């Protein structure tokens, strides 16, 4: 079974990807800027979900690898730290 984990480069997303790998799933992770393409058996491919061009490029990559997505773990996102202030 093929699993695509968006934002699979760190945190809980990375843990999910590694756990699925350990259970025998074929897993690809995505990252906007994958600094390490493969680590611990997890291959990271470049994907910025806000860019149509990046999405098209990823789909071509998946097609070339004959990687049909059976499961999508959609976790792409960013962390924002700071103070929230509401003035009105």
In eight-state DSSP terms, residue 2 is E
- For 60-82, the pLDDT digits (tens) are 999 999 999 999 998 766 666 77
Q: For position 27, what pLDDT does the model report?
A: 92
pLDDT score recorded for residue 79: 63
- Predicted confidence at residue 80, as pLDDT, reads 67
pLDDT for position 78: 63
User: pLDDT tens across 3-60, in order?
Assistant: 999 876 667 778 888 899 999 999 998 888 776 555 567 888 889 888 899 999 999 9
Alpha carbon distance 43, 54 (integer Å): 17
């Amino acid at each position: 079974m093929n699993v695509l984990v968006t934002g699979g480069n760190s945190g809980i997303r990375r843990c999910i990807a590694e756990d699925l790998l350990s259970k025998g799933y074929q897993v690809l992770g995505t990252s906007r800027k994958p600094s390490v393409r493969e680590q611990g058996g997890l291959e990271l491919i470049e994907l910025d979900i806000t860019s149509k061009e990046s999405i098209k490029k990823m789909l071509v990559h998946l097609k070339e690898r004959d990687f049909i997505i059976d499961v999508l773990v959609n976790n792409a996102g960013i962390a924002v730290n700071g103070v929230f202030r509401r003035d009105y």
